[in-house]
Structure 1
């Protein structure tokens, strides 16, 4: 198992945790976020569920979203997580997180937040997207996702995970990171 740099969660004194699994489409965000939610007994949410129908239709046509179209989407997520934090509900979120400003908005929800940045080379991601069925995003948008990605190189609450490894290895890496870097400091118990 590879070692990861130590991350400092956003809002470290918050009582409610948010694990954000981020990366381009096809990196395995939803699969990993669902598995982590099941492991910890947290609620699972998918950022795609917060998109407007107009945005979904646009992506299905192979047209990328611009920043003006993404901002209301991110604000809906931020507002949701801010309100749900008051109820003490821990959560995982599958979210592309392509833009630094969007990641910042989710930090503003006030939860103890850790980002897991799933990454790989473009050919691996393109192959995954080409083989995926039933998703609204057109496979032709993979390169635009890579073009839009502002890598989180100096964000202290982000840990990189290379997703070329088998899924079970990726999951075990993620659990080890969360146990040590998110839950270790406050001993928040999980299911």
Structure 2
């Protein structure tokens, strides 16, 4: 069993759409001079085509994508002190797949309730809010429990600067 190297750690920012994963990761990466990867960039072409046609992905579609993210996490933690990956990781089995062979990986769960996230999505400029998408995200979400000891939780019911500061504090305590 390998030991955790706290100097080379990957943090997956997880949560439902609208929880602020990309905004938080981008700012945290900037402040910590950390590597940053938007997990959506690793979707295979077939997933992109499927999503573009309005068809939702299923678990079979997500598996090769999650394996690609697992490989990216492995590569990133070998070369960067701190790395951040944005991935909703809504189900425990998705998180388990990301964990495989990556002892230096933790999750930062950007946690907020439905009403808070709905209000943020509705206020986004130039963004067409689809209420059913958020309903589906919350239905799919398997919130991490105490047995997932590698999950850190940040309450997003605060301004972005506060969420960023809370996230950095968690990373610095790790």
TM-score over 0.5 for the pair: yes
1:82-117, Cα deviation, whole Å (9 max, x unpaired): 233333463111110111121122222425222110
How high is the TM-score relative to the length of structure 2?
0.84
Figure out how many residues of one structure are paired with residues of the other and give that number: 172
Alpha-carbon distance in 2 for matches of 1:135, 1:56 = 19
1:142-167, Cα deviation, whole Å (9 max, x unpaired): 11111111111121011222212111
> Is 2:129 aligned against 1:174?
no
Distance 1:83 1:46, change over 3 A: same
Alpha-carbon distance in 1 for matches of 2:128, 2:48 = 7
Distance 1:165 1:139, change over 3 A: same
Match of 1:187 in 2: none
Q: Secondary structure at the match of 1:45?
A: strand
Deviates further, 164-173 or 58-67? 58-67
Alignment check: 8 A CA contact 2:35 2:80 kept: no
Aligned partner (choices 136, 153, 156) of residue 145 of structure 2: 153
> Is 2:30 aligned against 1:24?
no
> Is 2:160 aligned against 1:164?
no
Q: Which runs of 5+ in 2 are unaligned?
A: none
Deviates further, 77-86 or 113-122? 77-86
Alpha-carbon distance in 1 for matches of 2:44, 2:166 = 33
How high is the TM-score relative to the length of structure 1?
0.78
Distance 1:147 1:41, change over 3 A: same
Match of 2:133 in 1: 141
Match of 1:33 in 2: 25
1:66-85 correspondence to structure 2 within 5 Å:
66-85=58-77
Alpha-carbon distance in 2 for matches of 1:134, 1:11 = 46
Q: Which runs of 5+ in 1 are unaligned?
A: 1-9, 183-191
Q: How far has the Cα of 1:23 moved from its partner?
A: 0.2
The structure richer in helix per residue is 2
Alpha-carbon distance in 2 for matches of 1:70, 1:98 = 12
Match of 2:36 in 1: 44
